[in-house]
């Protein structure tokens, strides 16, 4: 069962499903602003997490769908920009919701 604050809004509604697919289009458009970006993918010998670690050895790099772990935490970010010792995380959202309005 979906928790209200994480409701699957596309489950039974074709219109909402189309909006969700539009979110992927927004991400693709955002990536166009970073043409040098590298999409991080797993393969038969390397996980996304390991590929991210390897790619972050570069002094400056822009990654799409990178994974980073720290202690018990794992994050996947839409866009990760590294320049020297600085990281910038960018999350792409097609829309925003107020989780309080979902709880009624």
Check residue 71 and give left, alpha or beta (phi > 0: left; psi -120 to 50: alpha). left
pLDDT digits (tens, 9 = 90+) for 67-86: 999 999 999 999 999 999 99
Rounded to an integer, what is the distance from CA 70 to the centroid of its chain? 17
Average pLDDT over residues 60-69: 96
Domain ranges of the chain: 36-93
Side-chain-side CA neighbours of 101 within 13 Å: the count stands at 3
Its pTM stands at 0.68
pLDDT at 21: 64
């Amino acid at each position: 069962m979906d928790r209200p604050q994480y409701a699957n809004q596309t489950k039974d509604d074709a219109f909402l499903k189309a909006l969700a697919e539009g979110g992927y289009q927004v991400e693709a458009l955002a990536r166009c602003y970073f043409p040098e970006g590298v999409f991080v993918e797993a393969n038969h010998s390397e996980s996304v997490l390991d590929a991210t670690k390897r790619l972050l050895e570069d002094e400056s790099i822009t990654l799409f769908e990178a994974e980073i772990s720290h202690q018990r935490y794992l994050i996947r970010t839409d866009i990760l920009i590294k320049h020297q010792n600085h990281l910038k995380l960018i999350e792409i959202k097609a829309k925003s919701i107020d989780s309080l309005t979902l709880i009624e």
